[in-house]
Structure 1
Amino acid sequence: MLAKGDVAPVFTAQASLAGNEFNFSMKKALAKGPVVVYFYPSAYTGGCDAEAHAFAEMKEKFTAAGATIIGVSGDDIKRLNTFSADPEYCAGKFAVASDAEGKIAATYGLVISPPRLGMKDVRGIEVNHGFIPRTTYVIGKDGKIVAVFSSETPTAHVEKSLAIVKAL
């Protein structure tokens, strides 16, 4: 796993914002200010839902601090289109990106666990992809990692990220 002070890998990814697909560019996001890249296991699962909802609720505060939020999971873009627009979760307030092959996660030193056979999400739909471990990176405008954490609760990731970007 990458650590504080490391240069964050720059990536582009197929993403969704409010149900609309686009190509997210880390390079373009960093040109505007700090970026919070949060990796999460899967849309429509307990902790991931709580984390997305918390980021959506605090989005205006991140924007006021000049920060961009991008969620990254192994979900395919179709699933993310629904999740990104869902008023209970992302609520159309920030983008989520698909890393179905785990390439972005790998550049950050994260290892995807294999799919769990028969696992279903909160809607009863089978989750057929591997899980990226819940890990949040706060990246400064200079491209260096300012903070990284993975052991806190999903909502604590949001609160800590906001405190850090406000201090930048």
Structure 2
Amino acid sequence: MSERLQPGDTAPAFTLPDADGKDVSLADHKGRKVIVYFYPAALTPGCTKQACDFTDNLDVLAAAGYDVIGVSPDKPEKLAKFREKENLKVTLVGDPSKETLEAYGAFGEKKLYGKTVTGVIRSTVVVDETGKVEHAFYNVKATGHVTKIIRDLGV
């Protein structure tokens, strides 16, 4: 089970391919706050709801100085289909090796329909302008989570 991040921790660096196969790094966003959210799989109902909620609130978040990056174990081709099908505006990156998911504490044991399974733990980590963890939310719900983040961040 990967270690969960705490406020004040240095956010693990990552460089992952986006839906177009271009590398996206956390370092590319230095000087801005970044909401990095982790979701199990593109093109599934809960993950679609969450990605659409982030897209619908992207202007509000951007105006408050936040960039949004969604991370899943999917390959760029699947992320591109997801982006096109749902008209998503958030940056989606793939982590098939699950190294970044594990580094952020977003991969491990979780309960699914009453069974313990190993997989992606739906999580959101807010990183400040200097690369430190400001907030870390684990086992979040797909529905209503973006509204809660906006409220918690005072946006």
Which structure shows the bigger proportion of residues in strand conformation?
2
**In 2, are the aligned partners of 1:149 and 1:157 still within 8 Å (CA)?**
no
Q: CA distance change for structure 1 residues 43 and 79 in 2, over 3 Å: closer, same or farther?
A: same
**How does 1:1-168 map onto structure 2 within 5 Å?**
1-16=4-19, 20-31=20-31, 33-86=32-85, 88=86, 91-112=87-108, 131-166=119-154
| Runs of 4+ residues over 4 Å off in structure 1 | 164-167
State the shift of 1:166 in Å: 4.7
TM-score when normalising by structure 1: 0.78
CA distance in 2, matches of 1:159, 1:166: 11
Q: CA RMSD in A?
A: 1.9
Q: CA distance change for structure 1 residues 60 and 141 in 2, over 3 Å: closer, same or farther?
A: same
Q: Secondary structure at the match of 1:21?
A: coil
State the shift of 1:73 in Å: 0.4
2:23 alignment partner AA: N
TM-score when normalising by structure 2: 0.83
Q: CA distance change for structure 1 residues 7 and 106 in 2, over 3 Å: closer, same or farther?
A: same
1:3 alignment partner AA: Q
State the shift of 1:151 in Å: 3.2
- What corresponds to 1:120 in structure 2? none
> Alignment identity in percent?
31
CA distance in 1, matches of 2:54, 2:76: 19
Gaps in structure 1 of 5+ consecutive residues: 114-129
